[in-house]
A and B are shown apart, each in its own frame.
Chain A
């Protein structure tokens, strides 16, 4: 019975009129003449009070306030160009990052953030008419990422990595002892005190990504982690 209640829908398939979509995923529902259609492959869950449509893939579109992980792609005269796993390349200004006026004649941006470095940033402004603008100000913990590892998943899978009320993330942290930050743009920063457990956490995250649309996942991932720990002899 539950198979009927949770099913994969594909572009062009009708969705129930009272379908609920996660806030940033409204563009994955197309409405014509009062009928709603899925525009991407997704999961329609009709078990609850209201049917929920969750896309299985999504394209990250920045929103002001998002805290995300960027990868420095190139360096301009007064700013960095940052790949944020989106169709739009973002801009981080020298003045914002350094917190002081910047003179390109006497200073060199690559000293602070060379090409290839990761930064944890907040989206300051974006309206799709200009490139998104980033900041490292106004929140704790923003700035260059110097330790740990970045795991990339489809942005649509981030809510699953976090889990309902953070349950999945909590379990992952407890089981591995690592610090984990899952950014909405599909990049997950992990930092493990015990380096041997890091690959286990990566495999667990990949498992969540692959099986995101299945139920009972938290328990299976937990089991998987303990199995891997045994196999690899990690405590």
Chain B
């Protein structure tokens, strides 16, 4: 850490790409981008691009996986080999295994799994390009894909990471900032029902910074969810 000599916050308090500390990268969202899946979405945070597809509820592939009282959630977070500067082996890494779990746990309390016992709801996430914030973009894409698939959920979810670079809390860290920052705190939440469903902190933050960072993240998540709603409404609004 700290080997990059480049200053990441300039004299005017702007970041290396000109953003203010509380500014996100340009965000785009699209739903229904794939034809075979029941629901799909493509989300980009700057150069980070994540594709999510949902299948189900359907019969689980193996009978022993059946849960008698609710649907099984299966989540795979996976990075395309060409998504990173150096080729990433397509075999799942330890990081991808952990993130698949963390993302699944971010959705377990959101999807109304008890409505479909003995079935499986499958969420497949492919990171097409990784430039920081892939897990939070992934949760956002998964939320849109679930809504697009018509799977009942308590509310929409979105995620964003707050980082600390050169002593400053910044929103939506990209790869350069993540590589040399002092802390990275990914958060995902369903603001409509006030639930934080994913929360991690890698690095050091004071308790005051954690609180302030959470506020920054939740504020941005609120906007992301508004954007999700807009995109979904647009897709389903037919103008005569």
Contact = CB atoms under 8 A, between A and B. Distances in A.
Interface of A: 8, 10-14, 27-28, 30, 32, 37, 39-41, 55-59, 61, 87-89, 128-129, 154, 156, 210-211, 213-214, 216, 220
Given A37-B193, A59-B116, A128-B117, A13 B152 contact: no
Contacts of B115: 27
B193 A28 contact: no
Nearest to B152: A39
Nearest to B147: A11
A12 B192 CA distance: 6
A87 B57 contact: yes
A10 to B, nearest CB: 5
A39 B154 contact: yes
Given A27-B112, A37-B192, A11 B154 contact: yes
A8 B118 contact: no
A59 B238 contact: no
A8 B57 contact: no
B150 interface: yes
Contacts of A40: 147, 150-153
Chain B interface category by residue count = 20 to 34
A39 B153 contact: yes
Contacts of A154: 150
B57 A30 contact: no
A178 B140 CA distance: 46
Given A11-B147, A11-B156, A41 B225 contact: no
Given A37-B192, A87-B116, A87-B119, A13 B229 contact: yes
B71 to A, nearest CB: 8
Nearest to B120: A87
Contacts of A13: 192, 229
A7 to B, nearest CB: 8
A118 to B, nearest CB: 20
Interface string B22-38: 00000000000000000
Contact of A87 (B56, B155, B232, B237): B56
Given A10-B229, A27-B115, A129 B152 contact: no
18 contacts: A10-B147, A10-B156, A10-B233, A11-B152, A12-B155, A27-B115, A30-B152, A37-B155, A40-B150, A57-B149, A57-B150, A58-B150, A87-B59, A87-B119, A128-B117, A154-B150, A156-B150, A213-B236
Interface string B130-150: 000000000000000011011
A27 B149 CA distance: 15
Contacts of B57: 59, 87
B128 interface: no
B6 interface: no
A128 B118 CA distance: 8
B240 interface: yes
Interface in B27-63: 56-59
* Top 4 closest pairs, chain A to chain B, by CB: A12-B155, A57-B150, A12-B192, A39-B152
Given A12-B229, A30-B112, 6 more contacts: A12-B190, A40-B151, A40-B153, A55-B150, A57-B149, A87-B116
B236 A210 contact: no
B154 A214 contact: no
B150 A129 contact: no
Contacts of B112: 27, 30, 39
Nearest to A43: B236
B147 A8 contact: no
Nearest to B150: A57
Given A8-B237, A211-B238, A211-B240, A129 B229 contact: no
